[in-house]
């Protein structure tokens, strides 16, 4: 089934635009820093960005979580070492 002429034109224009972007940026699009490149200086944005970065970092296991995987004897030894 043939596509209507308008659809073909839009598809061709989109392909040409993508080819132009690939030609200008052969290694991919550059990443932007929102504060520097977009000139965002809102304190609420900075706070939200810090919170998002903190969520992305791996969390430490809670204290005592490592002893849960140990055998009971090894857990007692580890507890004695911590007290000393």
Sign of the dihedral defined by the CA atoms of residues 30, 31, 36, 39, in that order: positive
Tens of pLDDT along 14-48? 999 999 999 999 998 888 888 888 888 899 999 99
Tens of pLDDT along 61-77? 666 655 456 778 888 88
User: 45: which residues sit within 8 A by CB, 6+ positions away?
Assistant: 34, 35
Domain ranges of the chain: 1-55
pTM of the predicted structure, to 2 decimals: 0.36
The CB-side HSE value for 11 (13 A sphere, CA atoms) comes to 6
| pLDDT at residue 79, rounded to an integer | 85
Q: What is the mean pLDDT of residues 50-62?
A: 79
Angle at 48 between CA 34 and CA 52, to 5 degrees: 90
51 by DSSP, 3-state: which?
helix
Under 8 Å between Cβ of 35 and 46 = yes
């Amino acid at each position: 089934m043939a596509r209507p002429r308008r659809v073909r034109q839009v598809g061709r224009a989109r392909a040409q635009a993508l080819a132009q972007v690939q030609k200008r940026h052969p290694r991919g699009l550059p990443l932007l820093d929102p504060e520097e490149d977009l000139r965002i200086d809102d304190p609420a944005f900075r706070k939200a960005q810090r919170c998002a970065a903190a969520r992305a970092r791996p969390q430490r296991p809670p204290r005592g979580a490592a002893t849960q995987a140990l055998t009971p004897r090894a857990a007692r030894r580890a507890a004695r070492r911590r007290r000393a």
